[in-house]
């Protein structure tokens, strides 16, 4: 680990993001746009409140997964990754650089979507909004970490995009959004327990119900963090310094 290299990498990735206005616009705008669409679909009924809250965890994870897997794939295919591996940069510096730089982007994204949800779309929570923000960023970080890992299994950007439904789809189906987890067959509930989005949704539902959801939020955010660390560790293993 080399903090200078990590900081230089964060700065470089943020510069790349800044140079790409359209991507920044899509990252920040798309989740909010989708949420607003959902508001009108449900015509502001109570169902929307429940859906919207879970969407604040799902959408950041989805968007960040997609953005990171393509960004990292580019790093692999253009030869910059191989070149980076000949420099003193450690793999952990690169992954942490991506994690932190995209977490900054996720923060901007979450601020906008949480603000719009609360003040414009009237989504109310019993617990404090700051917790919603924390869970949204944790969910986004899981998206970043799994995206970095997924890029190892794709040869082209075309393939990388196809991983999105594969990785995100089951998580949306099983996280308790479409059907309550209690009603699922045991096997599916186990599967649901093994997927990170479930914990983001649990934390958000706790914030929706409880005026002091600290314990639940901390527990579930801790699980999300653990998923992030494991995925980053596996991603580091997926980029050996020396090829065979």
Binding residues for another protein restricted to 8-27, rule: CB under 8 A: 8-9, 11-12, 15-16, 19-20
Q: How far is the CB of 120 from another protein (least distance, A)?
A: 33
Q: At what angle do helices 196-209 and 214-237 cross, to 10 degrees?
A: 160
Residues 60, 139 contacting (CB under 8 angstroms): yes
Residue 4 near another protein by CB under 8 A = yes
Binding residues for another protein restricted to 48-87, rule: CB under 8 A: 78-80, 82-87
Residue 89 near another protein by CB under 8 A = yes
For another protein, give the closer residue by CB, 85 or 164: 85
For another protein, give the closer residue by CB, 101 or 113: 101
Phi, psi of 216 (to 5 degrees): -60, -45
Q: How far is the CB of 155 from another protein (least distance, A)?
A: 15
CA distance 82 to 242: 9
Q: Which tokens is 142 given?
A: 């899981």
Residues contacting another protein: total by CB under 8 A: 26
Residue 239 near another protein by CB under 8 A = no
Q: How far is the CB of 29 from another protein (least distance, A)?
A: 20
For another protein, give the closer residue by CB, 9 or 110: 9
- Helix H or strand E segment including 96: helix 91-115
Of 30, 16, 99, 40, the C-alpha closest to 60 is 30
| 43: alpha, beta or left? (left if phi > 0; alpha if psi -120 to 50) | left
- Binding stretches for another protein (CB under 8 A): 4-5, 7-9, 11-12, 15-16, 19-20, 78-80, 82-89, 241-244
């Amino acid at each position: 680990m080399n903090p200078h290299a990590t900081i230089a990498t964060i700065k470089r990735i943020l510069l790349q993001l800044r140079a790409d206005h359209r991507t920044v616009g899509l990252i920040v705008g798309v989740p909010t746009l989708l949420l607003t669409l959902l508001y009108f679909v449900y015509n502001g009924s109570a169902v929307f409140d429940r859906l919207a809250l879970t969407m604040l965890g799902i959408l950041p994870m989805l968007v960040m997964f997609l953005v990171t897997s393509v960004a990292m794939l580019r790093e692999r295919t253009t030869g910059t990754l191989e070149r980076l591996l000949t420099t003193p940069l450690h793999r952990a510096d690169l992954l942490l650089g991506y994690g932190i730089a995209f977490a900054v982007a996720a923060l901007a994204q979450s601020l906008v979507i949480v603000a719009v949800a609360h003040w414009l779309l009237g989504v109310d929570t019993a617990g404090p909004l700051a917790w919603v923000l924390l869970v949204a960023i944790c969910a986004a970080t899981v998206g970043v970490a799994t995206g970095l890992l997924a890029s190892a299994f794709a040869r082209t950007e075309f393939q990388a995009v196809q991983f999105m439904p594969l990785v995100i789809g089951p998580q949306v189906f099983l996280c308790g959004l479409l059907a309550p987890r209690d009603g699922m067959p045991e096997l599916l509930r186990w599967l649901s327990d093994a997927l990170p989005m479930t914990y983001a949704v649990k934390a958000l539902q706790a914030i929706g119900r409880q005026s002091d959801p600290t314990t639940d939020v901390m527990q579930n955010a801790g699980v999300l963090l653990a998923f992030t660390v494991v995925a980053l560790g596996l991603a580091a293993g997926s980029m050996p310094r020396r090829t065979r």
